[in-house]
């Protein structure tokens, strides 16, 4: 297989066998000429899902498993990406789908501009809710205040290696947010295709639904804050300026109050960590 612009579609799955074939079919229907599919069994227990894995294996599709002792989207994606032969990666959750031209159009962007490290698109919700997924336009300043890049965006495997992959300690969600923060903080540019090419399923029990309660969402954000404390410390001035502008925006209020409270503390904490490291380095 020619890896010049080979794309590996990595599909983690935990007991989502009822939707998995739809995601795999969407990956197989891509117009991009060089695409591989890797399904990662995240220790599923559902008989229907296990049967689907066997069916996929019989069709020659790679079905791996999250390593023993590890579990969750970060660990599953990392396992799949580690085994991927493509130099571009597209994560796709087992209950979502993509349009046939998505990979081809996103790969063309990365092929044309080495400075672009993330390419995503407009998206549409389906399932319990339907309609356009209204997300703010990308800017790094906006990203500091909240995520607007969904997990199913195209990036380079070399960049995944460079930032250490997905953070497997982020077990409550938003692991893709921390991953985008790492990539963009290290200079990756972002480009969005102005077409609806990704379809995000809203279902009961989904991680998006589970994150809706304020306490769980804040806990997930706090874990991202801790994992990316160095980034927020370096950009705390920009972040606080952005909060001042957006504090009356009701749609962002839930996220912003936690940033406003935590950022000065993270800045102080990071400064103290660096001083301690310097002191220890002299001993």
Residues 2-27, mean pLDDT to the nearest whole number: 91
Average pLDDT over residues 66-84: 95
What burial class does residue 140 get, using C-beta atoms within 10 Å of its C-beta: 0-12 exposed, 13-18 middle, 19+ buried?
middle
> What's the average model confidence in pLDDT over 185-195?
96
Q: What is the mean pLDDT of residues 191-211?
A: 80
pLDDT of residue 254: 44
% residues pLDDT > 90 (the chain): 65
How confident is the model at residue 146, as a pLDDT?
83
Whether the per-residue pLDDT at 93 is higher than 70: the answer is: yes
- Ranges 4-8, 65-69, 195-199, most confident: 195-199
| pLDDT at 235 (0 to 100) | 82
Of 116-125, 168-177, 235-244, highest mean pLDDT: 116-125
Q: Examine the pLDDT at 76 and tell me if it is beyond 90.
A: yes
Radius of gyration of the chain (CA): 19
* Number of DSSP helices (H) and strands (E) in the chain, helices first: 12, 9
Confidence bin at 273 (pLDDT 50/70/90) = low
β-strands 131-132, 116-127 pairing: antiparallel
User: What is the model's pLDDT at position 276?
Assistant: 67
**pLDDT value of position 269:** 58
Residue 243: predicted pLDDT: 61
- The whole-angstrom separation of Cα 46 and Cα 230 is 40
Q: Domains of the chain: which residue ranges?
A: 7-227, 228-283
247-256, pLDDT tens digit by residue? 545 445 545 5
Q: What angle do CA 78, 83, 86 make, to 5 degrees?
A: 100
Higher pLDDT, 268 or 123: 123
Instruction: Using the predicted structure, report yes or no on whether residue 74 has a pLDDT greater than 90.
Output: yes
Residue 213 confidence (pLDDT) above 60: no
> Which pLDDT band holds residue 259 (cuts at 50, 70, 90)?
low
- Selection from 89, 96, 85, 145 nearest residue 117 by Cα: 89
List, for residues 110-142, the tens digit of each pLDDT value: 999 999 999 999 999 999 999 999 998 999 988
pTM (two decimals): 0.84
Nearest to 135 by CA among 114, 117, 159, 151: 151
- Return the bridge partners of 116, or none: 189
Domain 7-227: give its CATH code: 3.90.550.10
Summary mean pLDDT of the chain: 86
Lowest average pLDDT, out of 3-17, 145-159, 188-202, goes to: 3-17
> Which pLDDT score, from 0 to 100, does residue 279 have?
67
% of the chain at pLDDT higher than 70: 78
Q: What is the pLDDT of residue 141?
A: 86
Strands 88-91 and 154-156, sheet pairing: antiparallel
Q: Has residue 51 got a pLDDT over 80? A: yes
pLDDT given at position 81: 98
Residue-level pLDDT at 222? 81
């Amino acid at each position: 297989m020619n890896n010049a612009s080979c794309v590996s579609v990595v599909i983690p799955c935990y007991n989502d066998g009822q939707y998995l074939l739809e995601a795999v079919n969407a990956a197989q229907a891509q117009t991009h000429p060089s695409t591989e599919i890797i399904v990662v069994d995240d220790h599923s227990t559902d008989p229907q899902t296990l049967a689907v894995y066997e069916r996929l294996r019989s069709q020659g599709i790679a079905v791996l498993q999250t390593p023993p002792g590890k579990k969750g989207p970060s660990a599953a994606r990392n396992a799949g990406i580690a085994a991927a032969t493509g130099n571009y990666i597209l994560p796709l959750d087992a209950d979502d789908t993509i349009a046939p031209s998505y990979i081809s159009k996103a790969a063309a962007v990365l092929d044309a501009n080495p400075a672009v490290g993330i390419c995503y698109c407009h998206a549409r919700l389906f399932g319990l809710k339907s309609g356009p997924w209204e997300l703010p336009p990308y800017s790094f300043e906006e990203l500091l205040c909240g995520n607007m890049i969904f997990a199913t965006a195209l990036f380079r495997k070399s960049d995944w290696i460079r930032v250490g992959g997905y953070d497997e300690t982020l077990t409550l969600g938003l692991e893709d947010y921390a991953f985008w923060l790492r990539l963009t903080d290290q200079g990756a540019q972002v480009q969005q295709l102005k077409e609806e090419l990704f379809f995000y399923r809203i279902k009961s029990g989904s991680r998006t639904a589970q994150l809706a309660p304020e306490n769980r969402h804040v806990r997930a954000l706090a874990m991202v804050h801790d994992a990316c404390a160095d980034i927020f410390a370096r950009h705390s001035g920009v972040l606080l300026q952005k909060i001042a502008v957006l504090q009356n925006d009701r749609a962002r209020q839930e996220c912003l109050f936690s940033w406003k409270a935590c950022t000065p503390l993270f800045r102080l904490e990071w400064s103290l960590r660096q001083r301690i490291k310097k002191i220890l380095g002299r001993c």
